[in-house]
Amino acid sequence: MSTPRPRPPLPSWVTWRQRPFPDANLLLLHGRQPALVDSGFVGHAEETAAWARAHAGNVGLVVNTHWHSDHVGGNALLQANGAAVAAGTPEAEAIARRDPGCCAAEHLDQPVAPYSVDIPLDDGQVLRLGDADWEVVRTPGHTPGHLALWQPDERLLVSGDALSDHDVGWVDLALDGPGAAATALDSLERIAGLGPRVVLPSHGPVPADPGAAFATALRRARRLVDDPDGAVWYGARRVFAFALMIRGGIPAGEVEQYLHARAWLTDAARLLDRTPETLATELTAAMLRSGAVVLRAGRLHATAEHTPVRAESLRVPYPRAWPDASRPRER
């Protein structure tokens, strides 16, 4: 029996923390101006800020790989404490406009506290994070503004949700169009071609074998391209499980009512040529059969490892009600 390969070593100026859902992993880059990549879920923003402060002092910059709730939830608090926020230009422009679709927060029913983007990032741009230069690599697919970060000297790749040790990010064919899966595959092939020594994903552990992780991810991404219905189901399962995680489960008698009211489910039903009511029933039954959800004490719960969220932390406005981004922030 072969011995598992150890995780590739990280430079001393990198601190990485793996976290379960609903948070993305944390990556601190130390130096004269410490930088944090992604900031987790809004329900754990204080924990994120405290961890960053304990390991690096004052964080000067937060870089978002993309704008989903599990990646930008600490932005508002860190920004209030003096950090700037950087993100891909398409998302930065939508945030500046206060587009109601920002972060897909309302569409997915995933709360995000209001924030602004100070530094829009474009493909090929070189960004000083800590004391090292990183290249911005546009990797659309999981979201149109998704990006990766590449440090060529150490051959470090921050992959966001483009891949992890065992999975790839889901794609939203309803919001982002039928070509979103092919776009995600193209992005994955691009960053695979960089030949990274270390891949730092947003979810799951650091892959011991980056080449093997890419091979698995490319196969999975190809399946999403070849099977659009499967891609829709994959996304629906992920979004529903996340909803159960952040709410501490949903009472069994309220699950279908909750699902019927969700825009993401209505979109998925249309793509699958079903009614929302039929899809809600099928989705719940399928996830119960697979063990992805379980009925416990009258509530439906996600079974994947996750950290509890305080209900009051979810009470933040949808982006359509965010304050005007042009008003100066207090520092």
Mean pLDDT value across residues 262-272: 98
- Check residue 309 and give left, alpha or beta (phi > 0: left; psi -120 to 50: alpha): beta
9: exposed, middle or buried (Cβ count in 10 Å: 0-12, 13-18, 19+): exposed
Residue in 158, 118, 120 with CA at minimum distance from that of residue 137: 158
Report, as an integer, the average pLDDT of 54-83.
97
pLDDT of residue 137: 98
Summarised one tens digit per residue, pLDDT across range 143-190 is 999 999 999 999 999 999 999 877 899 999 999 999 999 999 999 999
pLDDT at residue 8 in the model: 87
Share of the chain above pLDDT 90, in %: 94
Q: Write the pLDDT tens digit of every residue in 247-259.
A: 999 999 999 999 9
Q: What residue type is 54 in one-letter code?
A: A
Structure-token pair, residue 38: 């992604």
- At residue 281, does pLDDT exceed 70? yes
Q: What angle do CA 189, 190, 191 make, to 5 degrees?
A: 95
Q: Are 34 and 49 in contact (CB under 8 A)?
A: no
pLDDT band at 329 (very low <50, low <70, confident <90, very high): low
Q: What is the mean pLDDT of residues 69-96?
A: 98
Tell me which residue has tokens 């880059």: 29
CA pair distance 90, 46, nearest whole angstrom: 28
CA distances from 302 to 20, 242, 249, 318 (A): 13, 8, 7, 24
Task: Find out whether 100 and 69 touch, Cβ atoms under 8 Å.
Answer: no
Q: Which amino acid is at 6?
A: P
Residue 2's pLDDT band (boundaries 50, 70, 90)?
Answer: low
The more confidently predicted of residues 1 and 160 is: 160
For 240-264, what is the HEC assignment? HHHHHHHCCCEEHHHHHHHHHCCHH
Assess whether pLDDT exceeds 90 at residue 6. no
**Phi, psi of 76, rounded to the nearest 5 degrees:** -60, -45
| End-to-end alpha carbon distance in the chain | 57
Task: Give the Å distances, CA to CA, from 294 to 203, 248, 281, 314.
Answer: 22, 12, 15, 23
Q: Give 118-143 pLDDT, tens digit per residue.
A: 999 999 999 999 999 999 999 999 99
Q: Domain extents for the chain?
A: 14-226, 228-314
Q: Measure the CA–CA gap between 166 and 151, rounded to whole angstroms.
A: 23
Confidence of residue 245 (pLDDT cuts 50, 70, 90): very high
Confidence at residue 331, expressed as pLDDT on a 0 to 100 scale: 46
DSSP 32: S
Architecture of domain 14-226: 4-Layer Sandwich (3.60)
From 222-226, 228-232, 281-285, 325-329, the region with the lowest mean pLDDT: 325-329
Higher pLDDT, 328 or 111: 111
1/279: higher pLDDT: 279
Q: What share of the chain is helix, strand, coil (3-state, %, to 5)?
A: 40, 20, 40
> Which stretch of 36-50, 159-173, 286-300 has the lowest confidence by average pLDDT?
159-173
CA distance 101 to 120: 18
pLDDT in the model for residue 4 = 61
Rounded to 5 degrees, what are φ and ψ at 147? -140, 160
CA distance 320 to 318: 5
Q: What torsion do the CA atoms of 224, 228, 232, 237 make, to the nearest 10 degrees? A: -40
